[in-house]
Amino acid sequence: MSTVANPSSSPAATSSALRDDAAVIGLVGMAHLISHYSQLLLAPLFPWLKTEFNVSYAELGFLLSVFFVVSCAVQAMSGFVVDRFGPRPALFAGLGLLGMAAIGFATSTHYLTLLVFAAVAGVGNGVFHPVDYTILNRKVSAARLGHAYSVHGITGSLGWALAPAMLVPLAAAFGWRVALLAAAGLIFTVLAIVFWRRRVLELPPAPHVAQHASQPAESAFGFLRIPAVWMCFAFFFFYAAVLSVIQTFATSSATHLTNVPATLAAMCLTAYMVASAGGMVVGGFLVADASRAERIVGMGFGVAAMFALTMALTPVPGVLVPVLFVGMGFASGIAGPSRDMLVKRSTPENATGRVYGVVYAGLDIGQAVMPLIFGALMDHGQYRAIWFGLALLQGVLIASAFNVRRVRRTLRPAMA
């Protein structure tokens, strides 16, 4: 009997599939970088904005609150738009609104104008997670999906790092308005590239989900009855809480607890982000077996919690504080791709945008709530409590990950 070679397994076909996946991952990652970059358009420029508009830091902080509240609401709703009309129009609109907001910030002459464009930026930012994960889950081959999640997380971290590195020197040299106009130029450049390569992001036909004749049609909100979706929402709330504490208060509290030199203290957050990106590369390989996702999350945040407890319980020498941040960032980064796999394994095929929109709204809520709680601890000089609280949140993350798996396994017999 003769055998017929499968053309899809030929080296040429394999190479073509790899190029296709790389193109999708690269474009989505580039757009995700702009999303995170835009979250820090204003914060690095607060010293200039405070003088220009004669406002308090509380009023400047309120600009960020408006951004994240609007982003949260839009993120939950945009999933329905993505499932109905596809991710590409939402992606173009999101990038366009972020570019418009940057120009609006640059030309503002009143504080209220800044508030309006903070809301515009929040609308633009709110579309990215439903868009990104719908494209990745539908376009990237299963074998490379873990690496896609890894790149997605890395580009987000790079976006956070790029904003202050680009905006502060430009503001110091040419003024804050020029810095924001340059940011708008970058955003519109990425929009032009994504639009030029838009065919790469075209989705295949949606998978058909069989519907038994005796069953009623599933409503657009039916996915909200899946307990694992809400377990994932809780997980991302606490994940954002951990990230918010590290970005906002970890460095300051470590400075009060140790004799870390100012030059080293300034490097701690950057060291955390760079190490986190490195951990995500490793995590992308580890999550190739999706069944290990919960264990990888548990391992990563378990190690991170040990570093946090080390800071809370022991007299850490100042020169070792950046090392602690590196260890914590690398361990947390390893868990990043597995974090995204948890959601994918809990998502119905026909509701990807809606599920990711609701689940990732937990990120915005966590980032809005935790600064209020931990900021009060800082105001009362409870610097060790910052690190105890951080370790507690990381422990809750571990429990949440395994709770997602427990709920998913409990539902399988009933769903079958």
Q: pLDDT tens digits for 162-192?
A: 888 889 889 999 999 999 999 999 999 999 9
pLDDT of 53: 92
CA distances from 168 to 47, 114, 174, 291 (A): 10, 19, 10, 43
pLDDT reading at 21 higher than 70: yes
Q: pLDDT tens digits for 71-116?
A: 888 887 887 888 888 889 999 999 999 999 999 999 999 999 999 9
Weakest mean pLDDT among 189-193, 197-201, 408-412? 408-412
Put simply, whether the predicted model's pTM sits higher than 0.85 gets the answer no
pLDDT of 178: 96
**pLDDT, mean of residues 353-381:** 76
| DSSP letters spanning 173-204 | HH-HHHHHHHHHHHHHHHHHHHHHTGGGGPPP
| Structural domains for the chain | 20-200 (1.20.1250.20), 225-415 (1.20.1250.20)
Q: pLDDT tens digits for 232-285?
A: 788 888 888 888 888 777 877 888 888 777 677 767 877 888 888 888 888 878
pLDDT of 216: 43
207 DSSP 8-state letter: P
pLDDT of 90: 92
pLDDT of 3: 44
| DSSP letters spanning 209-237 | PP--TTSPPPPTTGGGG-HHHHHHHHHHH
Let me know: does 41 contact 99? Beta carbons within 8 Å: no
